[in-house]
């Protein structure tokens, strides 16, 4: 049996994924540099990254009445729109090279958009806050899905099942489509509960979607924000469960940090609990509820 790692038809997706990952890493490095040098009063050289602003503002994101900070999500949206139109235009008669070029620009734009996904979701600049982790989760999801597609995973494989091809009656087609819609709805519920990898793997193993949708949400996830704020007992259970699941991960992370520092040692319970206290927390109330 022969296995092709990357077929020609998947080359645009491969280069799109490479462009996406590189753009995300470079963007995060630039943003961290800008933040680290924000207090530096020395004039910046032409090659040094800096915030962009329109209308003569300072580009600090706070708004000084003269201008406003131009987020890189704006450039991402423009690139996604332009490259998306190009790919639609090239879909029928375009060659692989031209389509791959458009896919690269689409990957660059998508990375810029998802890097500030939390800003779009919360409608406020939460890039460096705890809620800003949503952007990183969105990037992980995009990379995982693109990687699975590149390796041959087909989330629409249910349209290739034998019953679909053998029986073209509307009853069978309606049943298959209904199952697909139900699977997608369950996946959205699982993702809203903060269970990223369960949602991704569940697209190939449907029972995981049912399990993820039925079980408790993670306490900081959008689902907990919507459903658990009025049910303290559910939020308490979610917090206890999150601490129990994350404890081994925190312990391993603290040990790794000490190992990289040159003195590997097992962390004590006090350090683990302190880290869990910082990382595990309930979802904040919606702005309307908090201010109303």
Indicate if the pLDDT at residue 26 is higher than 80. yes
b/e per residue, 197-225, with b = 16+ CB within 10 A? ebbbbbbeeeebbeebbeebbbbbbbbbb
pLDDT of residue 18: 93
Mean pLDDT of the chain: 79
Name the residue with higher pLDDT: 79 or 46.
79
pLDDT of residue 37: 82
pLDDT of residue 257: 63
Indicate if the pLDDT at residue 103 is higher than 90. yes
pLDDT of residue 110: 93
Q: What do you get for the CA distance between the two ends of the chain, in Å?
A: 64
Torsion of CA 5, 8, 12, 13, to 10 degrees: -30
Indicate if the pLDDT at residue 291 is higher than 50. no
- Convert the pLDDT of each residue in 135-194 to its tens digit: 777 787 788 777 777 766 665 555 555 566 666 777 877 877 888 788 888 888 998 898
Structure tokens at 36: 């680290």
DSSP label at 54? E
Name the residue with higher pLDDT: 275 or 136.
275
pLDDT of residue 102: 94
pLDDT of residue 77: 94
Backbone φ and ψ of 150, nearest 5° = -65, -30
Largest Cα separation within the chain, whole Å, is 73
Most confident of 94-103, 137-146, 201-210, 250-259: 94-103
Most confident of 45-59, 102-116, 134-148, 219-233: 102-116
- In this prediction, residue 2 has a pLDDT band, given cuts at 50, 70 and 90, of very low
DSSP label at 284? P
């Amino acid at each position: 049996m022969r296995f092709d790692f990357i077929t020609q038809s998947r080359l645009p997706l491969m280069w799109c994924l490479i462009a996406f990952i590189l753009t995300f890493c470079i963007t995060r490095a630039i943003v961290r540099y800008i933040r680290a040098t924000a207090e530096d009063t020395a004039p910046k050289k032409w090659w040094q990254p800096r915030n962009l602003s329109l209308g003569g503002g300072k580009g600090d994101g706070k708004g000084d009445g003269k201008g406003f900070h131009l987020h890189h999500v704006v450039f991402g949206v423009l690139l996604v729109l332009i490259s998306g139109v190009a790919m639609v235009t090239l879909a029928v008669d375009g060659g692989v090279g031209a389509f791959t070029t458009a896919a690269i620009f689409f990957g660059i734009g998508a990375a810029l958009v998802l890097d500030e996904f939390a800003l779009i979701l919360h409608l406020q600049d939460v890039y460096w806050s705890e809620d800003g982790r949503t952007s990183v989760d969105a990037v992980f999801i995009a990379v995982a899905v693109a990687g699975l597609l590149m390796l041959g995973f087909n989330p629409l494989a249910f349209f290739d099942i034998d019953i679909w091809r053998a029986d073209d009656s509307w009853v069978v087609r309606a049943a298959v489509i209904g199952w697909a819609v139900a699977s997608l709805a369950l996946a959205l519920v699982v993702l809203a509960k903060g269970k990223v990898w369960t949602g991704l793997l569940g697209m190939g193993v449907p029972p995981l979607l049912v399990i993820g949708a039925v079980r408790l949400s993670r306490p900081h996830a959008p689902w907990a924000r919507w459903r658990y704020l009025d049910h303290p007992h559910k939020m308490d259970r979610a917090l206890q469960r999150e601490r129990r699941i994350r404890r081994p991960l925190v312990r391993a992370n603290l040990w790794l940090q000490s190992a990289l520092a040159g003195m590997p040692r097992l962390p004590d319970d006090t350090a683990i609990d302190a880290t869990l206290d910082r990382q595990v927390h309930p979802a904040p109330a919606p702005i309307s509820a908090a201010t109303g």
